[in-house]
C-alpha cells in the first residue's frame, strides 16, 4: 500500500523532472547572452553584425536577437551603440581629438556618428570634449511645495531639473554639472515651464516638455517606463525591470533612476524598493515620500 510519504516523494520527483528542462534552458540562455555580451564588449569597435555574432555563437540571428533582448532589454545593435557612445565619451575626456575619438570608438565614418550624436550626447562631440563649452543654458528657480525647483534648458530642451532648499546651492550644482557652458537666468517662458512642473505636483496634470539629456539605450527604456507609471502609483525596481522585458535588471534600473537628470519630468520618485519603502532619492528620501503622498492624494480626489 502506498503511504502519504510515498505520494509526496513521487510528487516531488515529478516536479523536479518537470522543472529540470526549464532550469537547463534558462541556464543555457544566460550562458548564450553572457558570451554574446563578452564578444560585443571585445569587438564593439569592429563592424559586428547580427549574422557575425550568430556564427560566433553557432545560433541563428533571429534566435540570438530574441534571447539577447529578453535578457538585457536591448538588441545587440543597441548594446553596441551604447558601448561605442561610452567609449567615445571616455576618449573625448582623455583629450583625444573628435576625429580620433569617433574612429577609435568603432564608427566607420564621421557622418555615421553625427547621424546619432545629438540624440545620444545632447550636444556636439566637440562641445562634449570641452565639458560643454559653447553650450548656452538658461535656468530659473521657483518655489514649490517640496522646496526650491531649478529648471535649466538648452535651445533643444530641458537638460536639468533639481530640487533643494537653497536657490544659490542649486545654481552652484548646475554650474558643476556644466562647468564650461554659458549659464544665465532665463526669461518668462522658462519660468512658465518651471511653474507648470510645480503645478503638476498637486494635480493629475502631466507636463510634456522637450528634453535635451544624455542617455544610453537602456536608460531611455527605463525612463520611458517611469513616465508610463500613473500618478498615485509606485512600482518596484523589479517590476520596472520586468516591464521593459529584463526582469533580472532591477539593480540596473535603480542606477538608471539615480542618473536621471530631469527629476519630476522623468518621475524616478515612482520607483521604490521591493518591500514598498521609498528607497534612495538624489533630493532626499523625505522629499521623495512627500512627492509620492501628494500624487496619491491628487489621484484619490
CA distance from start to end of the chain: 64
- φ, ψ dihedrals at 210, nearest 5°: -65, 145
Instruction: For residue 31, give the C-alpha cell.
Output: 550562458
Contact criterion met (CB below 8 Å) for 158 and 211: yes
Q: In the block, which residue shows the cell 545560433?
A: 59
Contact criterion met (CB below 8 Å) for 175 and 160: no
Bridge partners of residue 185, in order along the sequence: 139
Contact criterion met (CB below 8 Å) for 158 and 151: yes
DSSP secondary-structure letter at 156? S
The C-alpha atoms of residue 151 and residue 174 are separated, in whole angstroms, by 10
Report how far Cα 120 is from the mean position of its chain's Cα atoms: 12
Contact criterion met (CB below 8 Å) for 149 and 263: no
Catalytically active residues are 268
Bridge partners of residue 211, in order along the sequence: 158
Total H helices, total E strands in the chain = 14, 6
Residues 6+ apart with CB under 8 A from 21: none
Amino acid at each position: 500500500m502506498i503511504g502519504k510519504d510515498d505520494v509526496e516523494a513521487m510528487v516531488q520527483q515529478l516536479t523536479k523532472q518537470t522543472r529540470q528542462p526549464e532550469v537547463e534552458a534558462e541556464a543555457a540562455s544566460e550562458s548564450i547572452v553572457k558570451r554574446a555580451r563578452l564578444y560585443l564588449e571585445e569587438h564593439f569597435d569592429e563592424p559586428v553584425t547580427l549574422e557575425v555574432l550568430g556564427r560566433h555563437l553557432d545560433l541563428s540571428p533571429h534566435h540570438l536577437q530574441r534571447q539577447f533582448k529578453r535578457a538585457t532589454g536591448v538588441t545587440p545593435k543597441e548594446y553596441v551603440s551604447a558601448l561605442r557612445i561610452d567609449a567615445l565619451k571616455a576618449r573625448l575626456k582623455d583629450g583625444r581629438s573628435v576625429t580620433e575619438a569617433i574612429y577609435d570608438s568603432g564608427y566607420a565614418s564621421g557622418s555615421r556618428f553625427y547621424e546619432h550624436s545629438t540624440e545620444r550626447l545632447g550636444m556636439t562631440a566637440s562641445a562634449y570634449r570641452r565639458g560643454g563649452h559653447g553650450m548656452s543654458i538658461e535656468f530659473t528657480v521657483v518655489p514649490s511645495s517640496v522646496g526650491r525647483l531649478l529648471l535649466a534648458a538648452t535651445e533643444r530642451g530641458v537638460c536639468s531639473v533639481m530640487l533643494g532648499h537653497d536657490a544659490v546651492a542649486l545654481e552652484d550644482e548646475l554650474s558643476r554639472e556644466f562647468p564650461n557652458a554659458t549659464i544665465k537666468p532665463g526669461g518668462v517662458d522658462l519660468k512658465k515651464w518651471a511653474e507648470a512642473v510645480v503645478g503638476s505636483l498637486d494635480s493629475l496634470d502631466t507636463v510634456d516638455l522637450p528634453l535635451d539629456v544624455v542617455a544610453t539605450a537602456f536608460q531611455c527604456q527605463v525612463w520611458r517606463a517611469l513616465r508610463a507609471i500613473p500618478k498615485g502609483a509606485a512600482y518596484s525596481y523589479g517590476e520596472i525591470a520586468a516591464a521593459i522585458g529584463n526582469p533580472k535588471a532591477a539593480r540596473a534600473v535603480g542606477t538608471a533612476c539615480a542618473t536621471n537628470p530631469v527629476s519630476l519630468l522623468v518621475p524616478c520618485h515612482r520607483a521604490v524598493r521591493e518591500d514598498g519603502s521609498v528607497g534612495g532619492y538624489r533630493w532626499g528620501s523625505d522629499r521623495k515620500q512627500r512627492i509620492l503622498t501628494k500624487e496619491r492624494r491628487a489621484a484619490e480626489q
